[in-house]
Amino acid sequence: MTINRALTALLVALPLLAAADMVGTDDWLYPAPVPAAAASAPANRIVGVPGSTVRVTQDQLHDFAKVVDWHPDSHPQPPPIILQAQTPQGYACGFCHMPGGEGRPENASLAGLPLAYIIAQTKAFRGGTRHSARADWFPTTAMQRAITAATDAEIAQAAGYFSQQPFRSRLAVVETATVPATRPLGYILAPVDGPREPIAGRIIEVPDDLEAFENRDSFSRFTAYVPPGSIARGEAVADRIGCLACHDEQMGGWGPGRSPSYVLRQLRAFKSNARADADAAPMQAVVEQLSPSEMVDVSAWLADQPPRP
């Protein structure tokens, strides 16, 4: 082989090698914060989000114990635990899950989930039977810490409130062979300038308006890039393993249109037995039949389905 041919072969192979490397790691699904290159915004800087007249300081925005409700007219008055933690060191439910239960890709959208399911899962977090497939995934650790400080009455109030909120998907699912360059930001991926890269079997979910997302806007919208053909393949897998046989009623209310990154992390947690509460056994048996790529496909398919009334 001549030097020119060898160089040509190497250039052709490089994208494939990069793709293989992406498949071999799951950092794209469990992004971790990296040290900020620039100084953080001043604590007294005034911030807002589109469509809201509420204004707060940067310091208030990042108070785990007291939630900024940008759109208070979009939902009923929540129970106190949603917006205000019992202690200054505690977590208010709405800080991570948003005041209306909208959630974000790094955690669960609680709006519209069944009451009994929400209560059961909080008990699983508290009892140590629900973990992440990645032990270093901090959003799960944060939930475990937060729930230990909540009383049973507060959990019941929060679960009742979230279960009654309508779920509105703010997600666009796009099949593509290449995706924008991204970097970890907190516990999500954020688009950055740079050449597009192979999707390589991944799900790349990013906020459409990064500033609004960082300001914890509950109306933030997201785009999930998924592998070409994954939606149709996911539907075929769901038909084969009989997802709807168990989930038909629930999928009508809470399954479709939710974050595929979140769904995929839960499938992995079932497969690794990190989710091992009393109700996990049926899902553990199902995901045992699925390959990693099939779990990606099912997550993409479910995210692409329109929520039903």
The DSSP secondary structure of 3-22, one letter per residue, reads HHHHHHHHHHHHHHHHHHHH
Structure tokens at 85: 């933690």
**Greatest alpha-carbon span in the chain:** 75
Would the pLDDT of 254 be above 60? no
Kindly tell me the burial class for residue 170, based on how many C-beta atoms sit within 10 Å of its own C-beta (0-12, 13-18, 19 or more).
Answer: middle
Domains recognised in the chain with CATH numbers: 46-164 (1.10.760.10), 171-304 (1.10.760.10)
pTM for the model stands at: 0.89
- CA atoms within a 13 Å half-sphere pointing along the CA-CB vector of 156: 3
**Tell me, what's the pLDDT at 36?**
56
**Tell me, what's the pLDDT at 8?**
37
Count CB atoms within 10 A of the CB of residue 279: 13
Spatial contact of 90 and 71, defined as CB atoms under 8 Å apart? no
Task: Grade residue 309 by pLDDT with cuts at 50, 70 and 90.
Answer: low
- The whole-chain average pLDDT of the chain stands at 89
Mean of pLDDT values over 49-65? 96
CA angle 121, 136, 19 (to 5 degrees): 110
Task: Grade residue 250 by pLDDT with cuts at 50, 70 and 90.
Answer: low
